[in-house]
Amino acid sequence: MFKKSVLKVAVSAGVLALGGGVASAGNVEVLHWWTSGGEAAALNVLKDDLASKGVEWQDMPVAGGGGEAAMTALRARVTAGNAPTAVQMLGFDIRDWAAEGALANLDDVATSEGWDGVVPDALKAFSKYDGHWVAAPVNVHSTNWVWINKKALDAAGGKAPTNWDELIAVLDAMKANGITPLAHGGQAWQDATIFDAVVLSMGNDFYKASMIDLDEGALGGDKMVEVFNRMAKLRSYVDDNFSGRDWNLASAMVINGEAGMQMMGDWAKGEFLRADQVPGKDFVCIRFPGTQGSVTFNSDQFAMFKVSDPEAQQAQKLMASAVMSPVFQSAFNVVKGSVPARTDVPNDAFDDCGKKGMADLAEANANGSLFGSMAHGHAVPASIKNAMYDVVTAHFNGEYDATEAAAELVTAVADAK
Ligand code: GAL
């Protein structure tokens, strides 16, 4: 068992070696949903880092992009009185668990390492609860990206689209060239990821009013009807087998040239990199047309659950400290496709898409055009997010027309509040 002074040495030195090896510094059981090729590669960076510090990793993967299945598994574990020590978690879910009093307090590590000075307020809004640190942010993803196969773009005229009309022209050209224009997986969170981007493309004020402030006029008005019309248009470029497809299989369709593009958060880049593809050469990353200058973000954070064993508590602190190290945040995010959660990490190691991601984030943050992603739990609590998912997916599958969908959105959100 560690004494506090020993922990400090271990935390700052990073390694506690005994007799040439690395002494055990406890064990963390980590619940996460990073199971695709790119995600697993990034997770290995974390596992190796912790192993070098003597922290043993007990894996609890729960497959399912966006983390809904993982959150269901988490609830079952906590109800059974057996919470995992560390959990990958998004936005409002962190707040909900903190409000239940389930999360450990990380203030001593955060204070001694000065997290307050390097983590942007937009993330702190979720990492801290009631003024106390309850989670360590490992990255910032943004969701308003489009990933385009370079050859397919060249064959479709070669110009990346910057607005809705240009996007439709490129999709039409890809269709005429005999490929699936839009690679998509029919799962509610993926439908919602595209929806986020389409809403944002109608303006920052509209995104804020509808997705964050839940203004009824915005949720049910003409602009929202237009959003649903555009969703239906995008649906017409998806292949017949899209239903239930995992997001990384949709990425694979773009990687192998079967499809032209995917509208997805920058975790998709992790798949392209895993396939040895190079940005600018094999694929192109652009902001969803009409959202240049704005960012919808989500941040993966590790929330630590309250545990009574002091050794487990020390391992949690070691893990939190490891996750927040600037060197680690660079190494991890280069592989994951995301960007660092700290503002003081250099961009040298990042590829062009990563550099653009970091610059866009800083610019959006400075200009008031940075918003939490609805689809990824950073705009509204899970109950309201799920109500929106239902309407977006029902419309995407043809159950409602655009006018009905906008009206349903108002009702669903009001019922979920
Ligand atoms: C997001 C998460 C990403 C990535 C993605 C697909 O919610 O923040 O890290 O895992 O889901 O699984």
Q: Whose CA is nearest to atom 7 of ligand 1?
A: 66
Same domain, 234 and 285: yes
Cα–ligand 1 centroid distance for 123 (angstroms)? 16
137 and 149 co-located in one domain = no
Residues 208 and 276 in one domain: yes
Same domain, 134 and 69: yes
Q: Which domain holds residue 392?
A: 144-296+366-416
66 and 195 fall within a common domain: no
User: What pLDDT, on the 0 to 100 scale, is given for residue 25?
Assistant: 82
Task: Count how many domains the chain has.
Answer: 2
Whether 345 and 245 share a structural domain = no
187 with 279, same domain?
yes
- Whether residue 5 is contained in a domain is answered as no
Angle at 356 between CA 355 and CA 359, to 5 degrees: 85
Pocket test for ligand 1, best of 62, 300, 302 (most atoms within 8 A of CB): 300
Q: In what order do the strands lie in the sheet with 56-61?
A: 56-61, 27-32, 86-90, 300-304, 135-137
- pLDDT, one tens digit for every residue, the chain (417 residues): 333 433 443 444 444 444 446 778 899 999 999 999 999 999 999 999 999 999 999 999 999 999 999 999 999 999 999 999 999 999 999 999 999 999 999 999 999 999 999 999 999 999 999 999 999 999 999 999 999 999 999 999 999 999 999 999 999 999 999 999 999 999 999 999 999 999 999 999 999 999 999 999 999 999 999 999 999 999 999 999 999 999 999 999 999 999 999 999 999 999 999 999 999 999 999 999 999 999 999 999 999 999 999 999 999 999 999 999 999 999 999 999 999 999 999 999 999 999 999 999 999 999 999 999 999 999 999 999 999 999 999 999 999 999 999 999 999 999 999
- Residue 250 and residue 223 in one domain: yes
The answer on 208 and 175 residing in a single domain is yes
Cβ < 6 Å from ligand 1: which residues? 33-34, 39, 65-67, 90, 141, 247, 267, 298, 300, 376
pLDDT for res 23 = 79
| Euclidean distance between CA atoms 357 and 353, whole angstroms | 6
Residue 338 lies in a domain: yes
> 165 and 135 in one domain?
no
According to DSSP, residue 140 is labeled: B
Whichever domain contains 376, its CATH number is 3.40.190.10
Residues 114 and 36 in one domain: yes
State residue 21's pLDDT score.
66
Its pTM stands at: 0.94
Query: Which among 321, 336, 355 is the end of a domain?
Result: 355
Q: Do 253 and 283 belong to one domain?
A: yes
Classify residue 16: in a domain, yes or no.
no
pLDDT of residue 105: 97
The alpha carbon of 411 is separated from its chain's Cα centroid by a whole number of angstroms, namely 27
Could you tell me if residue 383 is inside a domain? yes
Under 8 Å between Cβ of 11 and 317: yes
Q: Which helix (H) or strand (E) holds 141?
A: strand 141-142
Contacts of 146 (CB under 8 A, 6+ apart): 261, 262, 263, 264, 285, 286, 287, 288, 289
Q: Which two tokens stand for residue 21?
A: 């090896």
Number of the ligand 1 atom closest to the C-alpha atom of 36:
12
Three-state DSSP state, 236: coil
Report pLDDT for 17: 42
Ligand 1 atom at shortest distance from the alpha carbon of 34: 10
Contacts of 100 (CB under 8 A, 6+ apart): none
